[in-house]
Amino acid sequence: MLFGKPISELTDAELVHAYKDSRQKELVGELYKRYTGLVYGVCLKYLKDREQAKDAVMQIFEKLLTSLLTHEVNQFKSWLYVSARNHCLMQLRSTKGKIQVEISDALMESQEPEHLNSELVLEDNLSKLEKCIEALNTEQKSCVELFFLQEKCYQEISNHTGYDLLKVKSYIQNGKRNLKICMERND
């Protein structure tokens, strides 16, 4: 029990804070339980191999034990997503040029070239979205991050931020509109 609650009921931020103070691996273990699926999905998307993705998940969570001690983490889920993506990109870069596979013309003709483009567009959109979130005013940014990234309900956001419930709804609605405008402007 920490903060008067069982470990499973602690927020991500509470787990990170408690881990920094106590260095109890069980706290990172709880984060592992919560986000293994997310990290595996990211790794599988980039590495395109189940076994490599499983290995990457283990490496990422092993690195968490030291990374959480040295980094200031405000939004754990989004920070973990970016960390997993960066780990996979570094892994792909390190193997670049080391593996040579001959690709037949028949295989290339059967593949749609948009598949590669769609991944690049998605990556570009995620980068734009991160920049647009940073550009929101403080209230909209915190409410949007809590609602969409941490999947908190309006009441939880109101309790967490101290904003009136109607203000929370307004900040989220205006934040979504501003994100849409920002994304369209940056296209």
Q: Answer yes or no: do 150 and 121 share one domain.
A: yes
What digits encode the pLDDT tens for the residues 15-28? Answer: 999 999 999 999 99
Q: Answer yes or no: do 54 and 120 share one domain.
A: no
Residue 108 located in a structural domain: no
Euclidean distance between CA atoms 35 and 165, whole angstroms = 29
Residue 107 located in a structural domain: no
Residue 105 located in a structural domain: no
Residue 37 located in a structural domain: yes
Q: Which CATH number covers residue 88?
A: 1.10.1740.10
Name, in order, each residue with C-beta under 8 angstroms of 137's C-beta and a sequence gap of 6 or more: none
Q: Which of 47, 66, 96 is the last residue of a domain?
A: 96
Q: Answer yes or no: do 90 and 124 share one domain.
A: no
Q: Answer yes or no: do 13 and 47 share one domain.
A: yes
pLDDT of residue 110: 46
Euclidean distance between CA atoms 48 and 121, whole angstroms = 18
Residue 101 located in a structural domain: no
Helices (H), the chain: 12-22, 25-47, 50-70, 76-95, 105-110, 114-135, 138-144, 154-161, 165-185
pTM, two decimal places: 0.51
Q: Answer yes or no: do 87 and 6 share one domain.
A: yes
Q: Answer yes or no: do 121 and 79 share one domain.
A: no
For tokens 């929101």, the residue is 136
Most confident of 43-52, 87-96, 125-134: 43-52
Residue 179 located in a structural domain: yes
Higher pLDDT, 156 or 97: 156
Residue 120 — very low, low, confident or very high, per pLDDT cuts 50/70/90?
low
Residue 53, both tokens:
């993705």
Q: Answer yes or no: do 52 and 131 share one domain.
A: no
Mean pLDDT score, 125-146: 87
Work out how many domains the chain is built from and give that number.
2
Residue 176: exposure state from Cβ atoms within 10 A (0-12, 13-18, ≥19): middle
Domain coverage including residue 142: 113-187
Residue 52, both tokens:
């490599």
Q: Is the pLDDT of residue 55 over 90?
A: yes
Q: Which CATH number covers residue 151?
A: 1.10.10.10
Q: Answer yes or no: do 119 and 88 share one domain.
A: no
Residue 127 — very low, low, confident or very high, per pLDDT cuts 50/70/90?
confident
- For the chain, the first-to-last Cα distance in angstroms comes to 48
What digits encode the pLDDT tens for the residues 59-107? Answer: 999 998 999 998 888 899 999 999 999 999 998 888 766 554 555 555 5
Residue 187 located in a structural domain: yes
